[in-house]
Amino acid sequence: MLLTLSTQSLAKKVSAKRDEFSMLQIPGFAIQQLQLRGLSVSASMLAGWTLEQLDTLRDQADKAACPCLVLIEDNPLAVAATSAKKREAAFERIERLGAAAHRLGCNALAIKVDAPDNDETFDRAADEIRRAMRAVERLELNVLIMPHEGLTHDPDRLTELIKRIGGFRIGSLPTFAHAETTGNAVETLRKLAPYAGAVHASVQKFDKSGMHSGCNLAECVAAIKAVGFVNTLAIEFVGSGDPVSTIDIAREQLQAAIDAEAS
């Protein structure tokens, strides 16, 4: 299992020190300072970028040996809207994101579904994502669905949607933060990890004894390992304050949990 970094963890650091620390520096920073060997890239941090800038980020990531692996769409997409216009806008957004992910050298694009949980929206979401995937698959990209309130919040419902869409390039991207909100993080991760192309380890803060304020990181790692997950585990800082010190502690604890499970 490879430990990587969600670039969203450093979003405040980039925006607060725009002249001192830029998005293009994240690959080198991730591997040299944080010892993390890949990136889940937040699309919101690339807003307004040209194709040439995307190429530059890919080059920087390749040179640092810290590749861009997944492009994350932060905003939920209305793929199941009753309005055909809104569905078409979501379809076009996925196409653009796919092109950007391909340019960055990613192997996957992750999206969230903006829809209430009912049979009508379930069917529309499956049809529209399947339609969008035909364009994305031509770029040899996987599509990962992230849990979100509504239709895909329940892990059983999300796995049902993935099965309905069908194909080898559709999967999930579970997060520790979402798993915790379900009331049984371990069981939720056990259900979603078999379909996961990546997992986000959401971290908040640690007390002086090293106890995490959110979910039990070791238990979450054990849960995904137990069902055979061996892909990338991206650390995503979702707390306040200094992300670097928190990420350092998280990396050590997550790696220890990975090693303990493997032994």
Count of CB atoms situated within 10 Å of the CB of 48: 5
The residues facing 2 across adjacent strands are 232
Report, as an integer, the average pLDDT of 180-209: 95
Q: Which two tokens stand for residue 214?
A: 């959110």
- Residue 210 is classified by DSSP as -
Residue 16 has pLDDT above 80, yes or no: no
Backbone angles phi, psi at 86, to 5 degrees: -70, -40
SS3 assignment, position 236: strand
Q: Measured between alpha carbons, how far is residue 129 from residues 57, 110, 113, 153, 254 in Å? A: 28, 12, 10, 17, 33
Residue 240 has pLDDT above 90, yes or no: no
pLDDT computed for residue 15 by the predictor: 74
Q: Which two tokens stand for residue 174?
A: 């579970």
Rounded Cα distance between 114 and 227, Å, is 28
The average confidence (pLDDT) of the chain is: 94
pLDDT tens column, 156-191 = 999 999 999 998 999 999 999 999 999 999 999 999
Question: What are the residues whose beta carbons fall under 8 Å from the beta carbon of 188, sequence distance 6 or more?
Answer: 155, 174, 178, 179, 182
pLDDT tens column, 85-124 = 999 999 999 999 999 999 999 999 999 999 999 999 999 9
Rounded Cα distance between 52 and 97, Å, is 15
Residue 259 has pLDDT above 70, yes or no: yes
The domains of the chain, with CATH numbers, are 2-262 (3.20.20.150)
pLDDT tens column, 37-67 = 999 999 999 999 999 999 999 999 999 999 9
Angle between the 217-226 and 185-192 helix axes, to the nearest 10 degrees?
A: 30
The burial of 67, by beta-carbon neighbours within 10 Å (0-12 exposed, 13-18 middle, 19 or more buried), is given as: middle
SS3 assignment, position 196: strand
pTM of the model: 0.94
**Cβ 256 vs Cβ 14: under 8 Å:** no
**Cβ 198 vs Cβ 233: under 8 Å:** yes
